[in-house]
Amino acid sequence: MLLIFGGTTEGKLAAKTCDASGKEFYYSTKTSVDNFETVNAKFVDGAMQIDDIINFCKAKNISLIIDAAHPFAIDLHDNIAKSAQTLNLPVIRLERKYPNKKRYKNVKYFNDFDELLSFLNQNPQKKLLSLAGVNTISKLKEYWKNNHTIFRIMNRKASLQEVHRHKFPLSQIIFYKKNNDDLELFKEIQPSAIISKESGESGGYDNKLSAAEKLKIPVFVLKRPTLSPTFIKVEGEHGLRKQIENCLPDFFELKTGFTTGSCATAAAKSAFSTLLTGEINQAIRFQLPNGESVRMYIKNTEITDNEVCCTVVKDAGDDPDVTHLTEIKASVSLSDKHSGIKFMRGKGVGIVTLPGLELNIGEAAINLTPRKMMLNEIRKIKKHFPDKWRPLRKKGI
The residues, any chain, with a CB within 8 Å of residue 88's CB and separated by 6 or more, are none
Instruction: Kindly tell me if the per-residue pLDDT of 80 is higher than 80.
Output: yes
CA distance 37 to 192: 41
> What average pLDDT does the chain have?
93
The residues, any chain, with a CB within 8 Å of residue 77's CB and separated by 6 or more, are 67, 69, 225, 227, 228
Nearest CA-CA partner of 126 in 148, 150, 152 = 148
The residues, any chain, with a CB within 8 Å of residue 294's CB and separated by 6 or more, are 234, 235, 236, 238, 239, 242, 262, 285, 286, 287, 288
pLDDT band at 213 (very low <50, low <70, confident <90, very high): very high
Residues 4 and 24 sit within 8 Å (Cβ to Cβ)? no
Instruction: Kindly tell me if the per-residue pLDDT of 4 is higher than 90.
Output: yes
The residues, any chain, with a CB within 8 Å of residue 391's CB and separated by 6 or more, are none
Angle between helices 50-59 and 74-87 (to 10 degrees): 50
The pTM of this model reads 0.86
If phi over 0 gives left and psi between -120 and 50 gives alpha, with beta otherwise, what is residue 327?
A: beta
What is the dihedral sign for C-alpha 36, 40, 46, 50?
negative
Q: What angle do CA 17, 18, 23 make, to 5 degrees?
A: 150
Task: Spell out where 170-236 has E strands.
Answer: 173-175, 193-197, 219-222, 232-234
CA distance 289 to 45: 36
Instruction: Spell 40-77 as b/e; 16+ CB within 10 A means b.
Output: ebeebeeebebeebbebbeebebbbbbbbbbbbbeebb
Backbone angles phi, psi at 41, to 5 degrees: -75, 140
The residues, any chain, with a CB within 8 Å of residue 157's CB and separated by 6 or more, are none
Q: Quick: pLDDT tens for 130-171.
A: 999 999 999 999 999 999 999 999 998 889 999 999 999 999
Compute the average pLDDT of residues 300-309.
94
* CA–CA distances in Å: residue 148 to residues 60, 145, 173, 182, 215: 50, 8, 12, 20, 20
Helices (H) then strands (E): counts for the chain? 13, 17
Structural domains in the chain plus CATH codes: 2-98+226-247 (3.40.50.720), 107-222 (3.40.50.150), 260-392 (3.30.2110.10)
Q: Quick: pLDDT tens for 166-210.
A: 999 999 999 988 777 899 999 999 999 999 999 888 788 989 999
pLDDT at 343: 93
Compute the average pLDDT of residues 83-112.
92
Nearest CA-CA partner of 95 in 318, 289, 285, 252 = 285
Residues 324 and 316 sit within 8 Å (Cβ to Cβ)? yes
pLDDT band at 37 (very low <50, low <70, confident <90, very high): confident
Residues 69 and 7 sit within 8 Å (Cβ to Cβ)? yes
Q: What percent of the chain has pLDDT over 70?
A: 100
The residues, any chain, with a CB within 8 Å of residue 169's CB and separated by 6 or more, are none
Instruction: Kindly tell me if the per-residue pLDDT of 351 is higher than 90.
Output: no
